[in-house]
């Protein structure tokens, strides 16, 4: 089938399938099976996501009292540096203590390997030129430090520990970067159903800085013109109410210009991550 056009009837059919509880991934495969070109089907699905109302409830979010400059996080109060409403972005100060940052670096250093990204067609992982860091994952609850930090994050963001992926540690050397990208899994990609079986869609990200590079290494949000300088113990949180660029959560790690940058990243899923 060539010159396929995304019609109003097709968009209405996609909406009806969604309302009936059919997953976005199943809708995509049904279109391909019935003769739609995969790229056309992906485009139709993305347009449907654009028009879909944002997720109204059920997102990770700290309990911020009106006018408060800090928020409870279980075993400590965490200061608010910056808060953006749309998209939801919050910069926290002193989420991690200096000795906790140092211990995470020490525990992970000998386990680092070249970082990989998700392979969108298979759901596996691959080396990607856009990400030039080294990294490793701690299993959930792997050691007392990780257990304590996971409990703190769960209290801070009001999200169950079991709905979080394992804590990822990343080291960026001189010149290393992570080009702008989204953290959610695109429903229009063929590998997404495999990924979602482990805990559903990603809803939020928390990037924690384990050191302060002499120069460079900022976290950038190009769509909103926000730059977050990495400072040891601080963190940047952002959530996304649907897997679509309209969330304006495009972000990246700017190149490290001097020294190295260490971060710990926690991704939060819809359901229990396995």
Q: Which pLDDT tens digit goes with each residue over 59-90?
A: 999 999 888 999 999 999 999 999 999 999 99
Averaged pLDDT of the chain: 91
Residue with tokens 């769509």: 223
Indicate the angle between helix axes 8-19 and 24-33, nearest 10 degrees.
130
Round to whole Å and give the CA distance between 248 and 34.
33
CATH number of 70-269: 2.60.120.620
Contact of 238 with 202, CB cutoff 8 Å:
no
Tokens standing for residue 28:
């995509």
pLDDT value of residue 1 = 44
Please report, rounded to a whole number, the percentage of residues in the chain having pLDDT higher than 90: 68
Q: In which band, very low, low, confident or very high, does the pLDDT at 211 lie, cut at 50, 70 and 90?
A: very high
Confidence of residue 57 (pLDDT cuts 50, 70, 90): low
For 146-184, the DSSP string reads HHHHHHHHHHHHT--GGGBPPPEEEEE-TT--EEEE-SS
Q: What mean pLDDT is predicted for residues 11-24? A: 84
- Position 51 confidence tier, pLDDT thresholds 50, 70, 90: confident
pLDDT of amino acid 81: 97
Domain ranges of the chain: 8-51, 70-269
| % of the chain with per-residue pLDDT over 70 | 92
Convert the pLDDT of each residue in 82-137 to its tens digit.
999 999 999 999 999 999 999 999 999 999 998 766 555 655 555 566 667 899 99
pLDDT score at 129: 66
């Amino acid at each position: 089938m060539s010159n396929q056009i995304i019609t109003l009837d097709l968009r209405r059919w996609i909406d009806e399938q969604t309302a009936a509880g059919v997953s976005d991934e199943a809708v995509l495969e049904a279109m391909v099976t019935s003769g739609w070109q995969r790229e056309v089907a992906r485009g139709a699905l993305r347009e449907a996501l654009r028009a879909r109302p944002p997720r109204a409830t059920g997102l990770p979010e700290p309990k911020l009292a009106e006018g408060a400059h800090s928020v409870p996080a279980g075993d400590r109060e965490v200061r608010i540096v910056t808060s953006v409403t749309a998209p939801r972005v919050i910069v926290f100060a002193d989420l991690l203590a200096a000795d906790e940052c140092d211990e995470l670096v020490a525990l992970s250093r000998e386990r680092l390997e070249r970082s990989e990204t998700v392979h969108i067609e298979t759901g596996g992982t691959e080396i990607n030129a856009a990400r030039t860091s080294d990294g490793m994952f701690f299993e959930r609850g792997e050691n007392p430090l990780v257990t304590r930090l996971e409990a703190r994050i769960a209290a801070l963001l009001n999200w169950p520990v079991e709905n979080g992926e394992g804590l990822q540690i990343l080291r960026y050397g001189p010149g290393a970067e992570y080009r702008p990208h989204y953290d959610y899994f695109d429903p229009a990609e063929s590998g997404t159903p495999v990924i979602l079986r482990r805990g559903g869609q990603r809803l939020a990200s928390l990037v924690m800085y384990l050191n302060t590079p002499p120069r460079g290494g900022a976290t950038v949000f190009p769509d909103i013109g926000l730059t977050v300088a990495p400072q040891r113990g601080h963190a940047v949180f952002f959530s996304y109410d649907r897997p679509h660029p309209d969330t304006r959560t495009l972000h990246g790690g700017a190149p490290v210009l001097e020294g190295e940058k260490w971060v710990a990243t926690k991704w939060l899923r819809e359901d229990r991550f396995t």
